[in-house]
Amino acid sequence: MRVKCPICGEPVEVPDDVLPGELIDHECGVTLEVLMDGNSIRLKPLEGIKEDWGE
């Protein structure tokens, strides 16, 4: 599946069997941590110090 990169807005290829906590490197240079939110997947920039992800 594809999830939008929170940094650059480009699609990120995410394996269908991805697990929460996995790290994915995106071509824009950011490392994204996989978070599960119900049935959907979110990507959080690992280097982001800001923990307040909000809704």
How does 8-34 read in b/e, with b if 16+ C-beta sit within 10 Å? eeeebebeeeeeeeeebebeeebebbb
Q: How far is the CB of 9 from Zn ion (least distance, A)?
A: 7
* Site for Zn ion contains 24 (CB under 5 A): no
Nearer of residues 1 and 38 to Zn ion, judged by Cβ: 1
* Site for Zn ion contains 5 (CB under 5 A): yes
10 Å CB burial of residue 43 (0-12, 13-18, 19+) is buried
| Near Zn ion by CB under 5 A: residue from 1, 2, 8, 37 | 8
Give the footprint of Zn ion on this chain (CB under 5 A): 5, 7-8, 26, 28
